Amino acid sequence: MQSISSREFNQDVGKAKRAAEKEPVFITDRGTPAHVLLTVDQYYKLIHSSKSVADLLAMPDCAEIEFESVRDADSTLREVDLS
C-alpha cells in the first residue's frame, strides 16, 4: 500500500486521488498513519464484505480456521477488590 505525508497530500491532491484508484493510500501525520484515501467503490466493497465473528463461526469449515490470540501490549492486569 502506498503512503504519503499530509503535506504531500495537501500539495497534490490529484496525485493522491490517482494513486487511490489503484490501491488505498495511507496519509501520515508526522510519520504515523492518520487517514486512508480510497475510492467509493473500494469503500463499498470493504463495508459490504465485512462479516461478524458469529457469521465466520457459523461457516461449515470454521474448525479448520487457525486462530492465535494476542494480548494487547497496553493492557495491564489490575487486582480486583471483591470485598
Which cell numbers hold the place of 56? 465466520
What average pLDDT is seen over the chain? 82
What is the CATH topology of the domain spanning 2-64?
Answer: YefM-like fold (3.40.1620)
Parse the chain into domains and list their residue ranges: 2-64
pLDDT at 55: 73
3-12, 48-57, 69-78 — which is least confidently predicted? 69-78
Rounded to whole angstroms, the Cα distance separating 76 from 57 reads: 29
Percent of the chain with pLDDT over 70: 73
CA 12, distance to chain mean position in Å, is 24
pTM for this model (two decimals): 0.57
